[in-house]
């Protein structure tokens, strides 16, 4: 890890980071996939050839044709249009939940890493206890109780995906908390908040950035799994997980209905993973040491 000693201007640093990422092939491919999907999520409704909720009983389960590139689904809706828009809900929800998760997890991790001692030890046991329950159980219990709206999914995802971030942030804090400049700040009588803001955060930030990118891809996987199981978005909203679940029953004679959303979902997650890889290399963090939690 690079210890930030001097303060560069933030925008300069961001630009040089972007240049570094785009100088790697994985970064270029990853970033363009992610950008494409985000743009589609924002402007897609104007760009798709057909309306995503336009039902046409005469066109049920058609195969691919020049009019409908990936055929139509069981209600005669254009699969290609729905696939292009299939990430809207997922990107919106995870796009809000990921920064919240990284921020609160990062803050709590830094705080307890700085405080240390008994309190830290107790908190880590609580974190362990939360992590030992499967994510799907925690999510499903809350969703079944409170419903599946955006207002439930965002806080739920943000809360549960922030917990593993605590670990990462705490570990990164532990590496630097014994350094001279933290000791000096303590000796100067700075408050804990000031130390966290000025001394710890600049050094933990890189680890949190990479962690955030990874959390985002895992959150998307989780979100689409929930939709697939019928606990995510509600019809007629186009969503990849839901589309795959719907089209699965007709897979034997209309496979394009499954293949299109699979391509949509996978290309976004591959894009995020490639970007995260390039980001980690640009920041000098070994991403592969991390286990899936």
Which residues bind to other proteins, rule: CB under 8 A?
Answer: 125-126, 128-137, 140-142, 144-145, 217, 221, 224-225, 228-229, 241, 244, 248, 251-252, 255, 258, 262, 265-266, 269-270, 272-274, 277, 286, 288-289, 291-293
Q: How far is the CB of 132 from other proteins (least distance, A)?
A: 4
Asked whether the beta carbons of 89 and 239 are under 8 A apart, the reply is yes
Q: Which CB atom, from 185 or from 214, has the smaller least distance to other proteins? A: 214
Q: Given the complex with other proteins, which of 9 and 132 has the nearer CB atom?
A: 132
Instruction: Encode the chain in three state secondary structure.
Output: CCCCCCCCCHHHHHHHHHHHHHCCHHHHHHHHHHHHHHHHHHHHHHHCCCCCCCCCHHHCCCCCCCCCCCCECCCCCEHHHHHHHCCHHHHHHHHHHHHHHHHHHHHHHHHHHHHCHHHHHHHHHHHHHHHCCCHHHHHHHHHHHHCCCHHHHHHHHHHHHHHHHHHHHHHHHHHHHCCHHHHHHHHCCCCHHHHHHHHHHHHHHHHHHHHHHHHHHHHHHHHHHHHHHCCCCCCCCCCHHHHHHHHHCCCCCCCHHHHHHHHHHHHHHHHHHHHHHHHHHHHCCCHHHCCCC
**Cβ atoms of residues 225 and 140 within 8 Å:** no
């Amino acid at each position: 890890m690079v210890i930030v000693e001097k303060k560069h201007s933030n925008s300069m640093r961001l630009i040089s980071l972007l240049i570094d990422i785009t100088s790697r092939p994985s970064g270029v491919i990853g970033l363009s996939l992610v950008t494409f999907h985000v743009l589609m999520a924002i402007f897609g409704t104007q760009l798709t050839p057909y309306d995503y909720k336009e039902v046409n009983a005469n066109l049920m389960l058609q195969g691919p044709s020049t009019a409908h590139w990936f055929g139509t689904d069981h209600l005669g809706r254009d699969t290609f249009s729905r696939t292009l828009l299939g990430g809207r809900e997922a990107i919106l929800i995870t796009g809000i939940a990921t920064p919240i998760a990284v921020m609160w997890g990062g803050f709590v991790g830094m705080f307890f890493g700085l405080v240390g001692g008994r309190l830290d030890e107790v908190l880590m046991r609580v974190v362990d206890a939360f992590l030992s329950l499967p994510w799907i159980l925690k999510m499903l219990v809350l969703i079944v109780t409170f419903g599946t709206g955006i207002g439930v999914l965002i806080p739920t995802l943000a809360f549960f995906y922030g917990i593993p971030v605590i670990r990462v942030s705490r570990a990164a804090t532990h590496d630097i908390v014994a350094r001279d400049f933290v000791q000096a700040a303590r000796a100067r009588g700075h408050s804990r908040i000031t130390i966290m803001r000025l001394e710890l955060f600049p050094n933990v930030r890189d680890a949190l950035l990479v962690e955030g990118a990874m959390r985002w891809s895992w959150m998307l996987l989780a979100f689409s799994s929930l939709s697939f199981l019928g606990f995510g978005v509600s019809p007629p909203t186009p969503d990849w997980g839901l589309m795959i679940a719907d089209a699965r029953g007709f897979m034997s004679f209309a496979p394009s209905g499954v293949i299109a959303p699979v391509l949509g979902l996978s290309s976004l997650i591959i894009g995020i993973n490639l970007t995260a890889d390039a980001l980690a290399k640009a920041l000098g963090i070994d991403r592969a040491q991390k286990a899936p939690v």
